Amino acid sequence: MSEVRKYSQTIDFYWKSISFYSIVLILYSLMAGSIEEGTLSLKLADPFVILLSIIIVASALSMLSRYYGERAITVTDQGIQFSNRFREKFYSLSQIEGIEFARERIFRSRRRYSVIKIKVANKIMPIRIRPSAFDEENGLIEDLKRLKSMLKGKK
């Protein structure tokens, strides 16, 4: 792993949900509306239309905040760098005490999610990374496994 690998946070979920809910909104509006004398009238005050519109706007705002934040993880032979639009924090191999790969349940769901916990010196709580939230999830996991093996070789 001699090269520097940068993994940015994915926003695929947001644009997929925006497009899906927009299609449902258009279809429902066309079905609920009426065509009279060559004009199409839509019911915008319908509660279902309002609910779908709120979901679309909330998803768009979330996507824009994620896109604007530019969160990323950079993995090198020297350590890990966490960055966003406003700041960067680098943890060298000497500061990293351990890397643990786990699977956890979130919010009482039956589904388990992969979580990577990075224990850093002078921090009480470990840094938690959910690899599925980043582009190239498998590459991120492999790079962190290599970093973990470098930690074992160092001790």
40, burial (CB in 10 Å: exposed 0-12, middle 13-18, buried 19+):
exposed
Same domain, 49 and 25: yes
| Mean pLDDT, rounded, for 29-46 | 71
pLDDT band for position 108 (cuts 50, 70, 90): low
Same domain, 103 and 123: yes
Same domain, 115 and 96: yes
- Domain boundaries, position 27: 12-68
Choosing from 48, 68, 88, the residue where a domain stops is 68
Same domain, 133 and 99: yes
Q: What is the pLDDT of residue 152?
A: 74
Q: What is the pTM of this model?
A: 0.72
Same domain, 63 and 78: no
Length of the chain: 155
pLDDT band for position 1 (cuts 50, 70, 90): very low
Same domain, 92 and 147: yes
| Mean pLDDT, rounded, for 68-86 | 91
